[in-house]
Structure 1
Amino acid sequence: MATFIHIDIPTDDLDRSKKFYSELFGWTFKNPIPDTEFYLFATKDLQGNEGIRGGMGARGEPGQSVTNYIGVPSVNEYVKKIEQAGGKASTPMPVPGWGYLAMCEDTEGNAFGIWEDNPDAA
């Protein structure tokens, strides 16, 4: 079943945001791409099990908010399903070495992303 797998949190002050979430919730951060200001974070549920992962980087535009991503087996398949259900979806794009992504909007105007893991994406 498709489920939430990733959260992107835009920030105006990366150090302040990392400190806030780390101290408040115990999230850990790592920078997987040298020379960038983008960090991945890991969360745990109340029982200490691995939780949803996420990313944190500079806010791209005024008013940009948290974006949730849903893992799907095929981005192309789900783009069609989203459009048939009355939503909107961007053309899928590769994230080289990681997978495929499409940005979407539900029937109420809420933005979300869909993600397909695929290390062969180019």
Structure 2
Amino acid sequence: MSKPKKSKASSIVWFEIPADNTARAKKFYSSLFGWKIKKFPGMKDYLHIDTGGANDTPDGGLMNRMHKDHTITNYISVESVDKSAAKVVKLGGNICKPKTAVPQMGYFVICQDTEKNTFALWEVDGKAK
């Protein structure tokens, strides 16, 4: 995951596309949009999608589908994944995957909204372990 700039605005900073066949999906998205897709350093079975946009345009990841209902996940920048995750629950949503570190980059929490849509919270923290 590239290191997005810390922002007070809650905007999409990363996305993940699950695939049954990552080679086929890579060919599809690179041919359709001209995205550069290559292995993400240090991660097995995870590809980095370079959308080619400006620094404020999110890049993403291409990965193996984890279950039949696994869909595209957008990562939304927040100041605190802990506070935002608590608010998700308070508002009637669910936590699907608790706070997880991406070493030296930040933390994420995978959530589900009241309509069963999945999304992720992302907190930048260069000291994450």
| TM-score normalised by L of structure 2 | 0.81
Q: Which of the residues 25, 35, 48 maps onto 1:27?
A: 35
Asked whether 1:98 is paired with 2:114, we answer no
Q: Which of the residues 6, 13, 17 maps onto 2:25?
A: 17
Q: Deviations over 1:11-67 (max 9, x none)?
A: 1221211111111101112322347221111224xxx53422110011112232111
Percent identical residues: 35
- Aligned ranges 1:1-122 → 2 under 5 Å: 1-34=9-42, 36-44=44-52, 49-50=54-55, 51-89=57-95, 90-122=97-129
1:77 shift after superposition: 1.4
Q: What letter is aligned with 1:121?
A: A
Residue segments in structure 2 that go unaligned for 5+ positions in a row: 1-8
Residue segments in structure 1 that go unaligned for 5+ positions in a row: none
Q: What letter is aligned with 2:12?
A: F
Alpha carbons of structure 1 residues 35 and 3: separation in structure 2 relative to 1, 3 Å: closer
| TM-score normalised by L of structure 1 | 0.85
**Distance in 2 of aligned mates of 1:61 and 1:69:** 19
Q: What letter is aligned with 2:59?
A: R
